[in-house]
Amino acid sequence: MTLEFRLRYAYAVLRRFRITIAFLLLLFIGLPLVYVGVYRTPAGEPIDYGRAVHHIYFLLFGQPSLDYVSIPLIEVLNIIIPPLGIATVVDGGVRFGYLFFAKHKAEREWIEVIAEAMKGHVVVCGAGRVGYRVALQLLELKKPVMIIEHRADAHFVSTLRDMNVPVLIDDIRNPLALKRLNLQEADAIICATNDDLANLNVALDARKANPALRIVLRLFDDDLVERVKENFRAEAHSTSALSAPAFALTALDPRILHSFHVGPHLMVVSKFDAKEKLSTLTVSELRDKFGGLTLGLKRAGTEEQLHPPGQTKITGGDCLTVQCRYDEYRALREFTGELAPPLSAHHG
């Protein structure tokens, strides 16, 4: 935890006890000054500040340490300080006990404290499979994450909490729930539930709470994705559209590791074992001739080198990770004599 987080965390906790702290300051700083200015002993002498504080402390337990004097203001204070002190102690004890048990049970009040202490975090709506994987990726990127999920028994809630990720159990469609997530200090919100309408409602409320917030939506309706992108200043993605190229191309060629669209272009990533044909080329020649960008090159006995220089000579036995358009990929496979795909990626 950073020093900034610790300071913000301490401030968030102290805010919960602001009433108790205010009364304690009144009791032990303000009222002793009244006694110093007003109280006089039977001999007519004033008292010092320390003795006034001593009197108020024992007065809380019904045991005043100063002699009785007939001064109306002092008589009133001697009467009201004991119940005021008891109320202050009880209020502070109740607040502390509630916050203590809320912390150990990860309840709403404690999650709200954690949210107030966070800054630059990402809120993920939904603790399903998509939300869980998104959270894992953000954590790998060293980004603070908060999760909101409406079901306490959702499959990944306990897993995320074991990873010290704060999970708020609340209805994301309730605007008050978003206030508990400190969206004013957040960098982004990712709406990853399986309900398109809920994701849109959350996005609208989040935009009102923080106009500068980056918003990403998971939507199932492909037509809705384009409309949201055009009219809402938000990034929207269809899980079916994202996964379609991967499923389709893996069915055609299991050697394809990843596939995605860049505008109208279908891009693929695959590994190539450098055999006779490829070993005649350099990395830059592979790119210029086939459009293949070499993302990584692994040579026997060495670690994989990411983005090898263009003048690197490809040698037999090298394993290349290449990215290119699908038509370029097929041309490259044809060049290497491996156009026909194997039954699985583990063959050939």
Domain end: 41, 75, 104, which one? 104
**pLDDT value at residue 282:** 94
Asked if residue 223 has pLDDT above 80, the reply is no
**pLDDT value at residue 346:** 54
Q: What is the pTM of this model?
A: 0.69
- Which amino acid is located at 220 in the chain? F
- Mean pLDDT across 205-211: 89
CATH at 332 = 3.30.70.1450
How does pLDDT run across 45-100, given as a tens digit for each residue? 999 999 999 999 898 888 889 988 889 998 899 999 988 888 888 888 777 776 76
- What 3-state class would DSSP assign to 198? helix
Q: Specify whether 217 is located in the same domain as 322.
A: no
**pLDDT value at residue 125:** 93
Q: Specify whether 94 is located in the same domain as 114.
A: no
Asked if residue 348 has pLDDT above 50, the reply is no
**pLDDT value at residue 97:** 73
Domain end: 189, 219, 240, which one? 240
**How many Å apart are CA 36 and CA 52, to the nearest integer?**
7
Q: Specify whether 136 is located in the same domain as 167.
A: yes
Structural domain includes residue 272: yes
**pLDDT value at residue 21:** 87
Structural domain includes residue 48: yes
Structural domain includes residue 345: no
Q: Which secondary structure element, helix H or strand E, spans residue 157, and what is its range?
A: helix 157-162
Q: Specify whether 204 is located in the same domain as 257.
A: no
Task: Determine the structural domain holding residue 123 and report its residue range.
Answer: 110-240
Distance, CA of 157 to chain centre: 14
How much of the chain, in percent, has pLDDT values that exceed 90?
Answer: 39
Structural domain includes residue 317: yes
The 8 Å CB, 24+ separation contacts for 63-68 are: 66/35, 66/39, 66/41, 67/41, 67/42
Per-residue CA distances from 304 to 9, 109, 249, 323 (Å) = 42, 48, 25, 16
Q: Specify whether 17 is located in the same domain as 67.
A: yes
Residue 110: name the closest of 206, 180, 195 by CA: 180
Judge whether 174 and 184 are in contact, CB under 8 Å: no
Which DSSP string corresponds to 82-102?
HHHHHHHHHHHHHHHHHHHHH
Question: Token pair 């965390």 is at which residue?
Answer: 9
**How many Å apart are CA 151 and CA 22, to the nearest integer?**
38
Q: Which residue has the higher pLDDT, 92 or 344?
A: 92
Q: Specify whether 268 is located in the same domain as 314.
A: yes
Structural domain includes residue 247: no
How does pLDDT run across 264-316, given as a tens digit for each residue? 899 999 999 998 889 889 999 999 999 999 999 999 889 999 999 999 999 99
Structure tokens at 235: 């990034």
**How many Å apart are CA 9 and CA 3, to the nearest integer?**
10
Structural domain includes residue 189: yes
Q: How many domains does the chain have?
A: 3
Q: Specify whether 132 is located in the same domain as 228.
A: yes
Q: Which secondary structure element, helix H or strand E, spans residue 196, and what is its range?
A: helix 196-209
Asked if residue 146 has pLDDT above 90, the reply is yes
Structural domain includes residue 348: no
Structural domain includes residue 118: yes
Per-residue CA distances from 144 to 167, 191, 267, 315 (Å) = 12, 16, 31, 43
Give CA angle at 80 (74, 81), nearest 5°.
85
Residue 98: name the closest of 177, 150, 20 by CA: 20
Q: Specify whether 68 is located in the same domain as 89.
A: yes
Q: Specify whether 235 is located in the same domain as 261.
A: no
Structure tokens at 75: 């008589």
- For the chain, give the longest Cα–Cα distance: 113
**pLDDT value at residue 47:** 93
- How far the first Cα of the chain sits from its last, in Å, is 48
Give CA angle at 222 (218, 226), nearest 5°.
85
- Mean pLDDT across 138-145: 92
Per-residue CA distances from 54 to 35, 37, 86, 336 (Å) = 11, 16, 17, 92
Question: Token pair 């202050």 is at which residue?
Answer: 88
Mean pLDDT of the chain: 87
CATH at 217 = 3.40.50.720
What band does 179 get if pLDDT is binned at 50, 70 and 90? Answer: confident
What band does 101 get if pLDDT is binned at 50, 70 and 90? Answer: low
How much of the chain, in percent, has pLDDT values that exceed 70?
Answer: 95
